[in-house]
């Protein structure tokens, strides 16, 4: 998943002047795009961006989620995957192209991103 820090133009300009770097360098740091590896300067730029009101954004594929009256939450992933979470027993069934490929028991909310990540790899 790609992530970035959303900040205003004025904040990008402020950060560039504060560190004596180009706006492109600021852009690379807040997009977590430091091709030479993680640098101390990039960490400092991101820290200042957050202090100035930046918001970390994560780009993920759109997932349709329905909370149905039959006690299930269903998520439809773009790769022909259906995640079917039971509110009654806490289980989750993963269907790929209509076939059940995995079952999870006692799913907690914190487990859902891991299930989504695994399911999104199905081809």
User: Of 31, 59, 87, which residue is a domain's last?
Assistant: 59
Three-state DSSP at 114 gives helix
Say if residue 107's pLDDT is above 70.
yes
Instruction: Give the residue among 120, 108, 5, 121 at the shortest CA–CA distance from 63.
Output: 120
Nearest to 48 by CA among 66, 75, 21: 21
In order, the DSSP letters of 94-109 are EEETTEEEEEESS--G
Global pTM value: 0.56
Residues 49 and 34 in one domain: yes
Instruction: Report the SS3 class of residue 74.
Output: strand
Clarify whether residues 49 and 8 are in a common domain.
yes
In the numeric block, which tokens belong to residue 115?
A: 């299930």
Question: For a pLDDT cut of 90, what percent of the chain falls above it?
Answer: 85
Euclidean distance between the first and final Cα of the chain, in Å? 18
User: Which pLDDT value is given to residue 37?
Assistant: 62
Same domain membership, residue 89 and residue 54:
no
Domain containing 116 equals 64-120
Q: Are 51 and 91 within one domain?
A: no
Is there a single domain that holds both residue 74 and residue 48? no
Could you tell me the pLDDT band of residue 2, with boundaries at 50, 70 and 90?
confident
- 44 and 80 housed in the same domain: no
Instruction: Map residue 62 onto helix, strand or coil.
Output: coil
> How confident is the model over 45-90, as pLDDT tens digits?
999 999 999 999 988 777 889 999 999 999 999 899 999 999 999 9
Based on the fold, state whether residues 9 and 55 are members of the same structural domain: yes
Q: For residue 117, what are the contacts with CB-CB under 8 A and spacing of at least 6? A: none
Total domains present in the chain? 2
């Amino acid at each position: 998943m790609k992530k970035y820090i959303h900040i205003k133009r004025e904040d990008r300009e402020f950060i560039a002047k504060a560190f004596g770097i180009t706006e492109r360098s600021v852009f690379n740091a807040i997009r977590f795009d430091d091709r030479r590896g993680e640098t101390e300067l990039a960490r400092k730029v991101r820290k200042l961006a957050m202090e100035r009101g930046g918001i970390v954004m994560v780009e993920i594929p759109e997932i349709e989620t329905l909370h149905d009256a039959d006690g299930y939450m269903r998520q439809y992933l773009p790769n022909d995957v259906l995640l079917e979470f039971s509110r009654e027993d806490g289980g989750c069934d993963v269907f790929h192209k209509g076939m059940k490929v995995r079952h999870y028991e006692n799913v907690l909310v914190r487990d859902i991103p891991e299930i989504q990540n695994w399911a999104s790899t199905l081809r």
